[in-house]
Amino acid sequence: MDQPSKLLLKLSRQLFSESAQQGQFLDRILHPRPYLPCVLWCQPHPPDLPFTLEPATSWQPPFVDRLALGSKPGQTALHEQGYFYCLDFSSVFAASVLCAIPSPIACLIDVCAAPGGKSIFAWVALQPAVLVSNEVIRKRLGMLIANLRRCQIQTAVITSLDSQVLAATIPHTAQVVLVDAPCSGQSLLAKGDRAPGCFHPVSINKNANRQKRILANASYLVAPQGYLAYMTCTYSPEENERIINWFLEQFPQFRPMVIPHLMPYQSHLTTIPCYRMWPQEGLGAGAFTALFQNTETGDTPEIAPAFLQQARLIL
């Protein structure tokens, strides 16, 4: 892609007021460059590593390493043995809001879990006694199960339920709920991947409506005083800042959290605490992330053992 489409140009103007910033953003989309690969350690490091580590960023979690360009961690025996999961740095950025939550926790529900990267991140960061990894699209369950098995995420149970059914079945049970929402996937282009129609208003609207529905259902899963994390890998404000605005209007019991380590990444498109990684910053293809706390008080119901038993059967 050499020339930006009209829709991409429009997006760049929506995101940045200055033409220099628009140009840098467009350049990363039109001329993708590789980002450093990353590993998320699920077990302690062995002493000799088959790849070279790069210096850590100031906010990088201690269980994540960035690797030299060209490293192929997924082709090593350590990967096969479940020592780590390969996660791109934009995902690390988005999931790092979880590091602001005190751990360990009793229950975490990942509503949109496949292929499992954020579930594994959450398991390492927060050590939940129960991790419910839910993926509604059945054909994506295989890779989720394979990844959780390989990385030996012992406390995981896997479900394949619509978010509305999940909310009706185990309401207010999770200290942490994670919504890594399906989105238009615009940041795929900055990695050199394809994302057909990702700038089209019809695709953006369809995704925004789905995100609202998932987030609304997810809010019912959150225990009193619990947390809800929302993240996407797309750039459109309609799927990010505007979703957050809508959510806080509809569910005023949730308050957005300031995440100290992400303050340099505060989105310039809103004053609400939420965070953006931009592709032109050179760390990753881009991500949006926000964390909310439920201010309601009260008791947290336990998940019915029958539900867990049924879910474990799938694993």
Does position 113 interact with ligand SAM (CB under 6 A)? The reply is: yes
Does position 145 interact with ligand SAM (CB under 6 A)? The reply is: no
Does position 177 interact with ligand SAM (CB under 6 A)? The reply is: no
Does position 187 interact with ligand SAM (CB under 6 A)? The reply is: no
Does position 115 interact with ligand SAM (CB under 6 A)? The reply is: yes
Other C-beta atoms within 10 Å of 89: how many? 21
* 233 classed as catalytic: yes
Choose the stretch contacting ligand SAM; rule: CB under 6 A; options: 68-76, 110-118, 250-258, 294-302: 110-118
- We find the least distance from the C-beta atom of residue 180 to ligand SAM, in angstroms, to be 3
Strand spans (E) along 42-122: 64-66, 84-86, 107-110
Does position 153 interact with ligand SAM (CB under 6 A)? The reply is: no
- The one among 206, 210, 212, 261 contacting ligand SAM by CB under 6 A: 210
- The one among 63, 101, 160, 180 contacting ligand SAM by CB under 6 A: 180
- The one among 105, 125, 130, 136 contacting ligand SAM by CB under 6 A: 136
Cα–Cα nearest to 107, from 41, 146, 156: 156
Distance CA 188, CA 190 (A): 5
Tell whether omega for the bond before 273 is within 30 degrees of 0, i.e. cis.
Answer: no
CB nearer to ligand SAM: pick between 26 and 112: 112
Structure tokens at 83: 């020592």
- We find the least distance from the C-beta atom of residue 281 to ligand SAM, in angstroms, to be 21
Does position 88 interact with ligand SAM (CB under 6 A)? The reply is: no
Cα–Cα nearest to 196, from 7, 2, 3: 7
Question: Looking at 38, 151, 233, 274, which residue is catalytic?
Answer: 233
Which residues neighbour 209 within 8 Å (Cβ) at sequence distance 6 or greater?
none
Q: How far is CA 263 from CA 92, 97, 174, 248, 279, in A?
A: 16, 11, 26, 20, 18
Catalytic residues: 233
